[in-house]
Amino acid sequence: MVKTDSDARTLTPRQMEVMRCIRAGRRANGYSPTLQEIADQLGISKITVFEHVEALLRKGLVTRRSNKARSLELTAAAKFPEDRPTVIPLVGRIAAGMPVEAYEDRDTFDLESTFVTPHQRIAIRVRGDSMIDEHICDGDVVIVEQRSDVRDGDIVVALADGENTLKAIYRERGRIRLQPANGNYPPIYPKECQVQGVVIGVVRQYAPLRRRR
């Protein structure tokens, strides 16, 4: 019997990213990405991806069919730190304007597949209202993809002059502008800025209203 070490804690961060690429590809397309496609997504070489895949094969987390392209597949032993039941019933639509006839549509809503990404994701609770015009409110939870490559206008989590902040980022003539989405707050022009992630979603929980006495 071959002993495998499938505990997620024994994986390197890069091996976990490779597993996420395989999972995302199979969910989106029904087959796995090629080694080159994984390399392109992660910004590393094909040979480095090959080495990580070989390590995952030895750990029993991935299988591969001989002489068959796009055949990488995660095994049941492959676990992710964020794995939890995330599928809830999607039972229809509801009008937020004028009332419409009730319409029932039995389906499911998968939180996991909604935020599919090959990168590590984290959730951060928002404090303050500086991004209110982007519909990000105090108490919301933002879903953040941990990566540093960004485009102008992306809403990012940034370490600006030693302090964490949530703002839209813009590059301007050799400097960075972190722009709030609230006219009551001025833009920030940090001397040092490290992007820690890009917001890909917002979750808001409404507490039940207390009954009036």
Could you list the active site residues?
A: 130, 167
DSSP secondary structure code for residue 132 in this structure: G
For residue 198, give the nearest of 133, 137, 153 by alpha carbon: 153
For residue 154, give the nearest of 138, 177, 126 by alpha carbon: 177
Q: Tell me how far apart the alpha carbons of residues 14 and 38 are, in angstroms, rounded to a whole number.
A: 11
DSSP secondary structure code for residue 98 in this structure: S
How many Cβ atoms are within 10 Å of 15's Cβ, its own excluded? 19
For residue 80, give the nearest of 46, 49, 45, 121 by alpha carbon: 121
Q: Tell me how far apart the alpha carbons of residues 77 and 35 are, in angstroms, rounded to a whole number.
A: 21
Q: Tell me how far apart the alpha carbons of residues 55 and 76 are, in angstroms, rounded to a whole number.
A: 16
Token pair for 194:
């490290």
CB 136 within 8 A of CB 169: no
Q: Tell me how far apart the alpha carbons of residues 108 and 154 are, in angstroms, rounded to a whole number.
A: 29
CB 172 within 8 A of CB 152: no
